[in-house]
Chain A
């Protein structure tokens, strides 16, 4: 595939250096790390190397605090299920309305089937957490708080350290889904109140199917997968050795490129955003522009629908993403757009451009040239848009 790839919050390209580190694990180093022979030992050594790389990326105090998993969803599920099993008398969970489905769907299930009380903290129009509601929800009945570090759709960053400290104040376990934040925000979990943190390999140029859960030393932990003694009995199952080594290599590279993500990539994102806002009428940035991941830009184009935008972008060789209903097969715009109260006139047209260290200035310049024409073309088809006046018009049909 060629083209301009601006969908890095969905997944990233595996870095060629990461792949090179992984390949020997498919050929000569095929042993099972649990085995008592040289084949196993060689692989075991590589896994421990990878663990140290992830430890360094997170600024964790001990490498044993890193548990390798199959990805973000498994890490999220493990964290919440561990906490509620470790504290069976506490029957409440605090989370936010804009979490990833890996958290929300599990909470829905625990609410319906296991009788848990779920506090879903709302956000304001900028996507910032309602801190008063958060403080009110905290009590000694809360087993775990799970709040994402940064939102996948808007890039909005939550005040994780403050949230974690408040949670610790009532004795709750604090978990954060940091799938979008790891590799973009410098972290030092050794000095943090965060108890558990989920990360996913394929969001930081490692392959799909590998992730990790940070578990602070001393935290009560109950495994989700039971079986062999892998990962110190915290995650049974023969290790995904190539994936783990790939994640280790990717973590090492993420530290190297962290500055680039926060300077050059951020400048490209800002250039794209400023140019599109200037060239296209009736559009706005969703989320909090001041507390945002450096690579993410989510623009809501009013009076048109996101899937149509993506199809035309794709035709022009540009890959982006949308919170529109039609792209997912669901029938409603994204829960994040609805939670922020983005009006329906714009929610369906929310389009996410997410950059990475692979993005070049020439690519951004090309996108800036193409997007305004696409928006104009679709508005020309829309019954809500008066073309000559370049403004919305009245149109109020009803379904039969």
Chain B
């Protein structure tokens, strides 16, 4: 089951502006029944003001295709042709509160229908007649220009994303290399660089880990504790751990509390012992349990300078 937003459901269950618009002077048709979705967008544009006075749609397709079409008509009515041309598929998806990644092509279909309708209104040649060779994806009839637009507008970086947004490559898969070439060209142009990794592949820093909240949320003492209470709770937790640490011939003491960072000093047999990391982890687990919030236990040596 797709996780559709309430806005998508609203536009699917009660679509706005569905049906035929008589006397439309700007009509755009995209998609096909073979592909599984198709949209006919009809608009009446006032030739003097260039304002889109009315818009209607007919759609063959899934829930998100119908919702995207409905949203599109709502977004463009009252806009001038030039204002409408500035809309992207991203705007349609945003208007709907987002679409599942696999369904982004529905928003792209809306944006493409709008471009086609406006081109028809202006009497421009809508570039929908392709020489066989110009198409990247022959199964769904997608050319490089459409892929480039989707990549640029949506900041796509992978083949899978391009397929989700345009359907290109979603059938026989023989065009995957061509799509990757287009992707590489656009990415090279925009200079999109991948962030440098400071961790081993497949790993993240500890600071990137956020534990899921327990299902039956225990009364969160943290939110209700005053700073003094919180400090006392931390001190008590450390006191509870000390006997264990002392048993191993070491000791642990609280040095400072800085928000989520708790600085402790390990001494005796613990300092420099190979188990010290484990001890720190044990202290951290105890504190998280006692406080009901996430804290990080750090050695005092890591305290910011000047403290």
- A interface list, Cβ under 8 A from B: 303-308, 311-312, 315, 324-327, 329-333, 344-345, 348, 380-384, 395-400
**Cα of A384 to Cα of B61 in the assembled complex, Å:** 11
Given contacts A308-B63, A330-B170, A332-B171, contact A344 B34 (CB under 8 A): yes
Q: Find out whether the CB atom of B171 lies under 8 angstroms from the CB atom of A308.
A: no
**Which of chain A's residues has its CB closest to B58's CB?**
A383
Q: Please determine whether B60 and A400 come into contact, CB atoms closer than 8 angstroms.
A: no
Closest to B137 in A: A399
B161 at the interface (CB under 8 A from A): no
Q: Which residues of B contact A399 (CB under 8 A)?
A: 30-32, 35, 112, 128, 140-142, 146
* Additional A-B contacts beyond A395-B33, A399-B141 (19; CB < 8 A): A305-B36, A305-B62, A308-B62, A308-B65, A324-B36, A324-B62, A325-B36, A326-B36, A326-B37, A326-B61, A326-B62, A326-B63, A327-B62, A329-B102, A331-B167, A345-B33, A381-B59, A383-B40, A399-B146
**B18 interface residue, CB < 8 Å from A?**
yes
Smallest Cβ-Cβ distance to B142: which chain A residue: A399
Question: By the criterion CB–CB under 8 Å, are B33 and A344 in contact?
Answer: yes
Flag if B30 contacts A400 (CB, 8 Å).
yes
CA distance A315 to B30 in the complex (A): 29
Determine which residue in A329, A333, A397, A399 has the highest number of CB atoms from chain B within 10 A of its CB, and name it. Answer: A399
Q: Are A308 and B30 in contact (CB under 8 A)?
A: no
Does chain A have a CB within 8 A of B264? no
Interface residues of B (CB under 8 A from A): 2, 12-13, 15, 18-19, 29-40, 58-66, 102-103, 112, 115-116, 126-129, 140-143, 146, 163, 167, 170-171
Residues of A within 8 Å of B35, CB to CB, are 331, 399
- Contact status of A384 and B38, CB under 8 A, knowing A311-B63, A330-B170: yes
Cross-chain contact B62 with A397 (CB below 8 angstroms)? no
For B12, what are the chain A residues with a Cβ–Cβ distance below 8 Å?
A: 308, 311
Inter-chain CA distance A307–B100, complex, in Å, is: 14
Are A307 and B63 closer than 8 Å at their CB atoms? yes
How far apart are the CA atoms of A397 and B117 in the complex, in Å?
12
The 8 closest A-B pairs by CB, nearest first: A397-B29, A331-B170, A326-B62, A307-B62, A383-B58, A399-B141, A383-B40, A344-B34
Q: Cβ of B33 and Cβ of A348 under 8 Å apart?
A: yes
User: Contact between B33 and A384 (Cβ–Cβ < 8 Å)?
Assistant: yes
B126–A383 contact, CB under 8 A? Answer: no
Contact, CB under 8 Å: B30 / A397: yes
Closest Cβ of chain A to B13, distance in Å, is 7
CB atoms of A348 and B36 under 8 A apart: yes
Whether A331 lies near B171 (C-beta < 8 A) is: yes
With A308-B66, A382-B60 known to touch, is A397 a contact of B38 (CB < 8 Å)? yes
A382 to B146, CA, bound (A): 24
CB distance from A240 to the nearest CB of B (A): 25
* Distance in angstroms between the alpha carbons of A225 and B119 in the assembled complex: 61
B112 to A400, Cβ gap below 8 A? yes
Can you list 6 A-B pairs, Cβ within 8 angstroms, ordered by A? A303-B33, A308-B61, A325-B36, A380-B19, A395-B33, A399-B146
Distance between Cα atoms of A397 and B35 in the complex (Å): 11
In the bound assembly, the distance between CA atoms of A348 and B65 in angstroms comes to 14
Kindly provide the distance from the CB of B90 to the nearest chain A CB, expressed in whole angstroms: 17
Residues on the A chain within 8 Å of B170, using CB? 330-332
Closest CB-CB distance, A88 to chain B, in whole Å?
Answer: 31
Asked if B60 contacts A304 (CB within 8 A), the reply is yes
Is there an interface contact between A398 and B141, defined as CB atoms closer than 8 Å?
A: yes
Please indicate the chain A residues that have their CB under 8 angstroms from the CB of B37 in the complex. Answer: 305, 326
Q: What B residues does A331 contact at CB under 8 A?
A: 35-36, 140, 163, 167, 170-171
Are the CB atoms of A303 and B60 closer together than 8 Å? yes
Give the contacting residue for B61; candidates A305, A330, A400; CB below 8 A.
A305
Point out the residues of chain B lying under 8 angstroms from A348, CB to CB. Answer: 33, 36
Q: How far is the CA of A312 from the CA of B12 in the complex (A)?
A: 9
Q: Contact check: which of B13, B36, B103, B146 meets A400 at CB < 8 Å?
A: B146
The answer to whether residues A380 and B128 also contact, given A304-B60, A329-B102, A331-B140 and a CB cut-off of 8 A, is no
Q: Given A315-B13, A331-B170, check contact A400 B62 (CB 8 Å).
A: no
Q: Chain A residues with Cβ under 8 A from B102's Cβ?
A: 329
CA–CA, A150 to B35, complex, Å?
29
The smallest C-beta distance from A333 to any residue of chain B, in angstroms, reads: 7
Task: Give complex CA distance A213, B146 in Å.
Answer: 49
**Alpha-carbon gap, A368 to B142, bound state (A):** 40
Contact A381 B15 (CB under 8 A): yes
For the complex, give the distance between the alpha carbons of A360 and B60 in Å.
Answer: 33
Measured between beta carbons, the chain A residues less than 8 angstroms from B59 are: 381-383
Given A311-B63, A381-B58, A395-B29, answer yes or no on A400-B115 (Cβ-Cβ < 8 Å): yes
CA A202 – CA B32 in complex, angstroms?
A: 38
Task: Please give me the residue from chain B that is nearest to A379 by CB atom.
Answer: B60
Residues of A within 8 A of B66 (CB): 308, 381
